[in-house]
Amino acid sequence: MTHRPFYPAGHENIFEDFRQFRTDCGEPDSSSVIHNVERLEELFPLKHGRESLPDSLSRSAVSQFFTGSKGTPPSARLVAVVVLAYLRCAVENGSIRSDPETGTPHDWECVLEAWQARLREAKRQNRPEPPLPRHGGRQDTDTSSTATGTTEPPGSGGTTAPDVAPGPMEGGSRLSVMPSASSPVPPGTARRADPVHLTPDESAALVAHGDYGLVLAEHARIGDREALYQLAVALALDPDHCARAQSWLVSATAARHPAAADLVPEPGRSIDVHDARARAKELARRAEACGHEAALEFFLSCVQQAALRAVPVAAEGDEPR
């Protein structure tokens, strides 16, 4: 297979693809890369705020990005920063053509989207089997649909599951669902949602934003309305999954989630992407405030990806050289 410069080369290991990309960009020194990271807002006409992308990068972070020393694929935000900074270096050393009007690397939107797709693939390949969330003080191993092969909700068979969160916050535990509803729910009105079983593509779309996507998927599977609301917000920003996200919002609304109803569109209309993005930003701010790092990373990634999709894509067939 012929390698298209600046795009993922198709190696089994994503870090080999990253190193090939570095070669395509002319092997720029780290000082030039770091300098360009600080100027991304100036160098690229991004249509979103800079709060979703780092504006600095250390030499060690650049090195770890290409060596994979941490053992896991990097975040979507870091991939975006590195790809853009290296593409700018490629313009400066003549490895890639630039737009004569803006000075940006030719076809950079398509290149960046290709790398984000490659990252999602790598995360799917490297994702370990997640532990099941705790519910009602025990592990749901015997009553889950995963264990039994059925869609029977946990707690069925004559008993009613208590309306408690599937897991406590525990200081931002990666296995907990971050609470988002600011308005209190009157006693006795809270209820669980119908269990949700996501498709493999929906699960992969969530996982692409970080481990917190697994937490939401597992908790939604046992009828946690908060998890259902949050995953609906995330999927509403993905054009491939926004239709099903509307169904999840309706389910969360039926379970009396206090924030879900306002995002449900009028009959015959789709979810307003701008409203969904504002909700994702709100969830990111709440995650930062309560110290839930996994949720913060997840929702910042959702916001960033939604913004990148809003950038016009260059015509098919345009080569980067």
Tens-place pLDDT, residues 56-72? 889 999 999 999 888 88
How is the chain split into domains, by residue range?
A: 14-126, 165-309
Give 2's contacts (C-beta < 8 A, 6+ positions apart).
Answer: none
**How does DSSP assign 22-34, residue by residue?**
HHHTT---HHHHH
Q: Of 51 and 279, which is predicted with more confidence? A: 279
CA distance 107 to 317: 10
Structure tokens at 236: 């509403």
Each residue's pLDDT tens digit, 169-204: 333 445 688 886 544 444 444 457 778 888 888 988
CA distance 102 to 98: 8
Q: Which of 99-113, 146-160, 207-221 is predicted least confidently?
A: 146-160
CA distance 99 to 279: 35
